[in-house]
Structure 1
Amino acid sequence: MEPDEQMEPCMEAEIDPAEAVGKGLGLTFSLDEESGVLFARVEPDPAAMPIDESWLNARLAEDGHARLRYVPMALTSLLAIYNSGQAVEALKIAERVDASLSIILSPDALQAMLTIVPAQGGRPVTKADVLAQLTEKGVTEGILLDDINRAIAAGQAQGVVIARGRAPVPGENGRLESLVAQVRSRVPRLTETGQVDFRDLGDIVTVRADQPLMVRRPAGRGVAGVDVLGRELPAPDGQEVAFAPALKGARTDPQNPDQLLAEIAGQPVEVAGGMTVEPVYVIPAVNMASGNVNFDGSVVVRGDVAAGMRIRATGDIEIGGTADPCHLEAGGNVVIKGGALGGLGRTELADCTIRCAGSFTSGYAQQARVEAGDSIFIDDMAMQCDLSAANHIRVGNRRRGHIIGGRVLAALSITGKVIGSPNRIATHVEVGVTPATSRRILELARERDAREKQLLDISKYLIFADRNPTKVDPNTVERACATASRLSAEVETLRDEENALNHLMELSGQATVCAENVLHEGVVVQLGANRFRPRGEMGPCVIGMLDGTLGPLPEPAPGA
């Protein structure tokens, strides 16, 4: 019998005098006060009646021995000896055990935890015992007296925290805070799953020269902590952030280096490491009378863009009306408030392409070829278009949301209310990373390697200059330091873009095609070498990879 399973007298048991006649004759118990051991003595008596476990428990409880720790099988042995009429001089059946305590420190020494094994007839743990062991372990800080008192009162505890240190608090990193409301960003803000609302980018916001654009908030200092042993725990300060060098159209304030000012009037655009200001060119319409537009900045067309015309802008292009088959190229976003008509299927307009490094937004698109470095948003309908986006394509918001015919390609997700048409118009929908993305990753790796090699060569020169200051020209060293700083920033930028594209490659395996209302027959969904063709009309569905097969994904559980 294990210690936890041994027979122990029941405190509530009582001996019935009528049943006790003849029972227990010749059986006595004696507790050695010095050792705390309980002995049983049996002197056989002819008049003795047999006893059982229940009677023995009641007798021990009546004599005040119920709380002792009993020797395994001792009571069973005692019953056998007594009932068989044998004699025993001193049978050890139980002993008095004092309570014990242990205090353990957490690996970081920020907590001290108390465990109390309760007494069994012996001396309980006292508050003085706990405090003495805390002192022995060197615990001096954050002692929780109320928790100690509660554990002592309970008589037992298991891992109760009785001392708690103060963890160090790292300082907040510095940050760049925009001072311009509704500033556009060239940094994609979409979720990886593509569950986003349609975005109306609105009008181009402009700033005047010398207007504050951004303020640099310095990093915070860390707050040191202390462990329960009284040792100070240093806290790191936050990382400082700096404005990127050579922000186009912006400069730091001569009176306040933590503030960024607009150098020219134009459109503010948030970029990594600060904000640039691009000039804005506003024109009523682009047609034969105005000629083609080639502008270093952003272009706003109040009206329409006529067929065959060209607009190139290093910033955004915003068109208030309709874009007939034309060629648009933007370093930022393209917004067409009306719709985009393309030249697919017309030989004379075959090169009419809309290409942007950011996102493309339009009311509708028909026979248009659009290539977006971020995402494509079309409110009403995309009919017989060739659409390609690095991240997401979404057709449909307040209006119909039909994708009919043509080819639609995005790396992460394609969403439409209705994909295909009842008369089975061929519609090719493809998700996954484009070959252009793979090529770009290789280009970035080559560019980064080249700059890192240059940086290594300059570093060797600077080490030589540091060791041999009399053998080098100080002006050359200064130029080398500036070059090294520029190369370091360029390497970091290339590495960030490379990491982002590699992350995109990983996410592309989870890309999906979502038909919020209907997916018609005639649609081909492709992810890599996998293809899915619906047989008949399908209701709301999401197509993606599951167990190595491209097909409809199960609906999420309610509340998931």
Structure 2
Amino acid sequence: MDELYAAAEEKKIPRQALSSGKILEKELARARSFPGEFFSFPIIRPDGFDVRLSVSNDKLRAFLYVRKAADAPHTLDFKLIASVLNSSKIRFADPDLLKERLFQFRDSDEMELVDLPVAQGIPPSKGISAGLRENVKWLEGAEFAAIRRRISVWAENHIAEYGNLFRTPPEISSPGLKIGFVVQGDLALEFVCGEPGKPGVDIYGAAIPGLSGDAPVIHTDETLSVEPEGIRAGQHGAFLLEDSGNALFARILPYCDAYAELQPSADRMELFLTLCPAAGAGEPLTEERVRAAFSGQTAAAVQEFDRARIQALIREAETAGRECKTRIAQGTPAVPPGSPLVVWDASGPGGIVRKGGKILAYRVMEAGANGRDVLGNPIPFTGKEAVPVPQPGFFVEKREEDGWWCFYAAVSGEIVRNGEEISVSDRREFLRDVGPDDPSECFPGAVVIRGNVQKGATVKAEGVLTLNGNADASILSSEDSVVVKGGIKGGKLGTVWARNGIDIGFAENARLLAGGDVRVEKYCFRCAVKTNGRFSVGGIPGILTGGTVRARYGVEAVQLGTARKLRTVVSFGQNYIVGEQVEFAEQDFAKVMEELAGTEKKLRALAGGDDDPVVRSLRQKKLSLMKQKERLAMRIFTLKERFGGHAVSKVLVHGDVWPGVILESHGRYFEVNEKMTGVYFFFDPSPGIIRWAPLENSGSGNDTGR
């Protein structure tokens, strides 16, 4: 303030002409809140009479401002002041005191009356704080210690995904940690409302509701959602809650123990094995866990269930990443006299058999035979009429072996039973929609779907995969080709993969991966395309816009990009399958280097010599990692040499190319900055740039690359 007064005096501004000290202090405080910036405000008091009434935001206080006129005799307009006060409808605290204070101001030498309190409401009080009801069954004792230990080991190996859980709350090592299990959708923590405080009254006489108590402070991550009623689980897993004293920290880690379960059918003639792989830090799916499910009365039915088959089923479940149910045994029905005893080697009608695989074996029992269910209980035969023997149908070969007639598959496919005729179909057809509950194993033949493919479904085929409808966020995979007569709306999750080519009506927010050509009929919008062949969008409207396209032998489209300047990146002229292998090899190399650095750090921390078994083990591990590092370095070098090779290719656009399109080849880029029509782009290896030319001129090009 002193500096301000001194500056005003230098400008020959009398002190009486300045605004009051309170107003100047307010303006200076505002100026200090903008350090390093110029801030200006008026310091000279206006000449005219003024009266203003201000109310606080919470309507609990009112203040009066009055300024005398600069001209003598500096009188107050009490009539105007009364009009302002009466029209405000404010309940004044003490009208007589207000009147007295105004008279004092009139008789004083002061020119401004600043922030005179004229009304004061009654503020509401704060009530009892809200609380949390924990709807989770917390682990205790040895069970808590075991799960905590498993999560600790798992967390050390997943720091990149979940952070260091030993240092980031909720900390695994914290003494205030609780662990329980939740299912997606559970209301893990429920808010318990506190009691509101006493109500207040504002300066207008209106009631103000009492304030709620403080809400609990809880920090969550994306695995939990905060809702009005509480904290809800967004996924299955282990729920970690830490009370640090000042706040709560909560998150969910993936955790599900693997399980194996045997279940007979209602008639006890079939036995099913259900396997579910572990998730996160859960107990893994092991052969011992599967064999433990064989114990008890069903052991006789599975005593020849060999190790190789168990491991194959475990791999299948882990690949699927979900519960898998497999028929592993069948009972033997009672055989009337003169009827065939049929023993199925494959999984029976509806099951999958490989070419040359045994389907069944039978022999005629002249005297009949008792049967046995999967639990080992005998089934006596009754005096029924003899049943016909099985007959080989399409793609089934019949041979006699050691008194048994055996059926073998001539092709890989699905076993079909029509009466007594047994056939193998190398084509699976769905006359309906395919959903996530349908089998996801790879069918060894062609697959035809007459309906649609729903979200979350997986369809795999070794032959041609044909979809007549549309695909949602799903996976379509073929070792041959994929034909989608509709299209795919992938929602950034849908994928179409083919070892050869892909033909599809349209594609939105999906991934298209193919070893051969990819042809889109209508449009391709915001997709990630990678092909070792050629990519084309040749129908009507034939638009390619958004996303990334990597096509070894080039791209052809009617329109590339849109007027909205949507970023569209097109790479061409290189083997992008090899490029993907380079990325994977570099990721493996980074992991090996990280593990090698950790091993060397442990060796430096140990003081033992060659006789120390721990040191010896670490040195052997280091040697193995160094050899692995050399192999990966050589592989990366070789792959990069292959990736650097050039494939003659072009990007042809029959219509418009819009700004926002970026073309790339061999690390060189060409960005479209203005609309172009009827052009093609190509990479010139000599100068190492991307050129373009009109479609009608296949000779000369224009140097506009970089």
TM-score by length of 2: 0.30
> Which structure would you say has the larger RCO, counting Cα contacts within 8 Å and 6 or more residues apart?
1
